[in-house]
Every structure is written in structure tokens, then in C-alpha cells.
Structure 1
């Protein structure tokens, strides 16, 4: 039942987004929109020594997208591109294939595991992590990830 998705902890996260707003001088900014529902996330990043040094987000999304953005905002400072891409890929696999939840600093994403049963909610739930990985790639001068973080059947990135 969809009501099971909206736990008190999830709703509290969604209502208390950290790092809301925009940075005055970001190294990169990325906007992502979920076409099905219109959820929108804009992230700004500053990267120093290969890690996120500053971050801000403007989130107009459902409670699920806001909760994911809240986890991101609370733990993104100090994260490397590798860590963010691994987390995004684990998060996507958790939602789309019932894989294990991301571990480490983003382990609170585990509360969103029930979203796997609602494919129409996947895109909005993933928006913040899609945006931040692209923004960090841009900030450090890498091309966008044209695979979208998806792996081949052989498991190669």
C-alpha cells in the first residue's frame, strides 16, 4: 500500500531539507526534471580537491524526492565523484531491481526501499542523486555519464 511509503521519518526528512537555495558562485549547476510528474531539482556544487566543498539545492518534488534530497543534502559535503556515482547506482538498483540499499554516509536511503514497488515514483526519487553526480562531473571537467550510471549486462560500467 502506498501509505506505507510515507513513514514519519520519511515525512520529517522531506519537511526539513538541508542546504536549500542556490550558491552565488558554483563550479557547476544542474537541473533535472522527472517528466512523468514534473518534479524538479536544481543543484549547485563547489568542488575542491575532488570532493564536494559546498552544495545547495532547489527542490520542487514529491515527499519521496524531497526525502532523498534531504539525505543527500545532509551528507554530501566531502563526498567524491566515485562515492556519489556508486551511491546513485546502488540507489537505482535498490529501486529498480530490489538490490541492497546504499551503505556508508547515504545509508538512510534504505528507508526508500519500498518505492521499488511503485515504478512511476522512481524518477522523482532519484532526481537529486542524478543531478549531483552530473554537477560534480561537470565541475571537475568530465563529460556527462552517457550511460546514466547503468551498467552493462556483464556488470562493467
Structure 2
């Protein structure tokens, strides 16, 4: 990867997000937890959730990822309290479309994912970027299953 591409990919904003991830304490009594791993790079994200009135009320995470995965986890953590499962699904789908198909960046509370636009050309980074959203959705699905049982 040429140096100019690295500079574009690892912008100051991405590095600042990666250095300041929020909600890094695991929750003591979560409603559900989930762990996701990107097989290509070995990045992992574990999330804990509490949900009240169908929205995320508490969030904790353990992030062991590259700078792009950390930046994505930071954006999610910064905006997740008060989000619904629908918000998370729409954001996951929009981010995946942005990375894989050249679609627009997510909008609304998660519009800051736009900072990861330069990563669309680096397919080997996509899985790490998606980890925090995928783990969050898995945990939300566990909560839904518990509520339907």
C-alpha cells in the first residue's frame, strides 16, 4: 500500500476515534453479550447490552482490533445509548453497503461512520470495521429471543 493511501486511510480523525473508544468497561449484569472475530486479521469485539423499553440503555465493550475496527467501535459507542434494534440493523446494512457496494454512508445518529469511506477500497479491513455492529446485533437478537421465549 503506497504511503499516500495509508495517510488517506488512517486519517487524523480515524486515529483520534481509535484512541478514544467509549464504553470500554464490560457490564456486570448484561441482558446479553456477544463476541465477534474477524478471521482474516484476528480482531475481536465483545459487547454487553442492557435494553429498556426496546432501546439500548447500557453498553459495554472490549475491543481488540486494528485502528479501523477501533474507530468503528468508537463511533458506535459514542452514539448507541438510546438506539433501537432497528437503528442498529439499518446502520449495519448501510455501513456494509457503503463498504462493499459504494453506497452512501449511514445517516442519522451514526452518520460519523462516513469517516470510514476510504476503507471501502481495502476489503481486508471490512470485517474488522463491522465487528462492533455485528456483535451488537447478535446480542440484541439474543435479547429478542429471550423475550419471545
Question: TM tier, shorter chain?
Answer: over 0.9
Scaled by the length of structure 2, what TM-score is found?
A: 0.93
4+ residue runs over 3 A deviation = none
Indicate the SS of the match to 1:19.
coil
Corresponding residue of 2:73: 69
Say which of 21, 24, 27 aligns to 1:20. 24
Corresponding position of 2:103: 99
> For residue 37 of structure 2, what is the aligned residue in structure 1?
33
Q: Unpaired runs of 5+ in structure 1?
A: 143-157
Cα shift readout 1:129-157 (whole Å, capped 9, x = no counterpart): 11111111211227xxxxxxxxxxxxxxx
Figure out how many residues of one structure are paired with residues of the other and give that number: 142
Is contact 1:101–1:107 with CA below 8 Å preserved after alignment?
Answer: yes
1:6 aligns with 2:14: no
Unaligned runs of 5+ in 2: none
- Residue 57 of structure 2 aligns to a residue whose secondary structure is strand
TM-score under structure 1 normalisation?
A: 0.88
Return the structure number with greater helix share: 2
